[in-house]
Structure 1
């Protein structure tokens, strides 16, 4: 208040002792004042804040309020809208750049250990014949698991065409496929009649397009055969049947069924 009294005395000695009260100051600060204070109070305030008029001191700060948008602001994106162009994955649950990458994530034991039905089609079917030991396959067959294997016919033209495409001149694919068929045939011969009936071996002689492994009519592993590339280097897709209207599982399940019907037993 001493400062207020000095300002009042400076502005006009007659105003000394007539400075604004504390209550008045609170009303001013709370915006309760309509218009300007008494002229004497204005003169005191102008003396306290040199260079500022009473009008300036009590002016309401103008705050710019953005106008309400009538249309949504367009998305700021460097490319096309992601949501609108999101890939439709259907029932594909995993994709790998090669069979080795797939095998690291999905070991054969984890895929097949509790299976009740296994359908496999391809060239040499190494995932069954080279990745699963005989005792595991025997245990599955003895427990009633049905295993159907569809090999590329070692006596046919398709396997030779595939060898030529991959650049083999020494019947490498034919020899490996014959070895795998022989391994499963010997295993079947050692089984009792009931278990042996659960293991079916067929061959087909058609242009090879896919390596398929279907487990329990629920999980499908698909590999396309690429030109001049070994199967181990092919991308691998894992498909889980979720009854999607546009799912891929029924497509490849039907591919196996059709090939099986056209094949012949070993």
Structure 2
């Protein structure tokens, strides 16, 4: 199993999360590309820290929405969205090369992530961007979403992702952050849920029902309060149960 987190999201004097601590825990890092968060110097610091620890790096692409942290819905044209995704990945590839690592996968962020899980037009735009830039990039997407099949149909390798610190609807979608109980904070609860998921292939939805969920990677959001404690609890619980934690892509430079 892979354990990932969204990192590189600090901006100037505004600090977001504890990248150094998270990089000692996770196996893959979804690094911001400057559109929803992150500044070049901070992103480079995070990439260097990831390289030093052998953590795999992914491009955490999003809508151009610094004020809303990429969590506001947008409706760009296909021409814009394809170019925006290529631009963000390309920027991170350059910084990663300078840091002695490489970008091996792409995980969309926030509103873009949730939109393309079900919106085929925007999904196809993101898939097109990856294919036009580097068809070898892996796409990380919401477990159980149609996006996984759409990407496979066009030849991309995909990784299905589950969220440790988010509540699920009975239909397998993430509960909107606007609703009570959408974000989980208790490290022990989060760790128990993820061990249950790994053992059974199911997760308990917000109404208590059980949802079938096949996942290759588990995410703990780096900006969540108590993120480090939650990620550490998940790692310890899984490893204690004999679950090996490894990146799904090779973190080494080519």
Query: Which band: TM-score by shorter chain?
Result: 0.3 to 0.5
Q: Which has the higher contact order (CA 8 A, sep 6+)?
A: 2
Rg larger in structure = 1
**TM-score w.r.t. length of structure 1:** 0.32
**TM-score w.r.t. length of structure 2:** 0.33
